[in-house]
Amino acid sequence: MAMTTNDLKNGMTLNLPEGLFQVVDFQHVKPGKGGAFVRTTLRNVRTGAQLERTFRAAEKVDQARLDKREMQYLYKDGEDYVFMDNSSYEQMHVGRAALGSAVDYLVDGAAPIINMYGDEIVGVELPAAVELTVRETEPGVQGDRVSGARKPATMETGLVVQVPLFVNTGDRLRIDTRSGEYITRA
């Protein structure tokens, strides 16, 4: 859908010749001399790379319509992850590459929002925090009470997180999906 750069908003997705980009930030600039322009910061939805780009004011750009579907993660089938569309109940097999780092936070029954452009998955929206079970960690050593000391813990999804010394195997933890850091015990 064609629109002008005067209509840009944060979060919009644009279909540019270089690929699909999401508007992270934009600023309309009207210098004292010359024509107005729009300075933008764009993020490639496929690779995550950021790009600074300047457009002339009222320049036409194509807005990409992303289909956001709420899906439920069912199980892992070999190398594929199987999701069910919550509205149509259709199952979809998705490769690890299409999901990116979201696979570290997927447990059975999780309900991420999958962004699709046509038939291609271009992004996965997760909740801010998820609860995961510690599969393996070293036991805390008696007397080792250094303030803020951390140890690695492997979660049920294979994600390795730095946790406090008191965390044991089998504990349920809240993990921040944006940074991958330990928040608290669940």
| Closest CA relative to residue 50, chosen from 59, 40, 60 | 40
Q: Which fold has domain 129-185?
A: OB fold (Dihydrolipoamide Acetyltransferase, E2P) (2.40.50)
Phi/psi for 160 (5° steps) reads -105, 125
Domains 2-62 and 129-185 share a fold: no
CATH architecture under which domain 2-62 falls: Roll (2.30)
67-125 classified as CATH 2.40.50.140: yes
Using a 10 angstrom Cβ sphere, with 0-12 exposed, 13-18 middle and 19 or more buried, the burial of residue 176 is middle
Question: Rounded to an integer, what distance in angstroms lies between the CA atom of residue 82 and that of residue 94?
Answer: 6
Q: What is the pLDDT of residue 147?
A: 66
Question: Rounded to an integer, what distance in angstroms lies between the CA atom of residue 106 and that of residue 99?
Answer: 10
Question: Rounded to an integer, what distance in angstroms lies between the CA atom of residue 61 and that of residue 3?
Answer: 6
Domain boundaries, the chain: 2-62, 67-125, 129-185
Question: Rounded to an integer, what distance in angstroms lies between the CA atom of residue 40 and that of residue 92?
Answer: 35
* pTM over cut 0.85: no
Q: Output the tens digit of pLDDT for each of the chain's 186 residues.
A: 778 888 888 888 899 888 889 898 999 988 888 889 999 999 888 777 898 999 988 889 899 888 889 999 998 888 899 999 988 899 999 888 888 888 899 988 889 999 888 888 888 888 999 999 999 998 876 666 666 788 899 999 999 999 988 888 999 999 999 888 999 988
Q: What is the pLDDT of residue 84?
A: 93
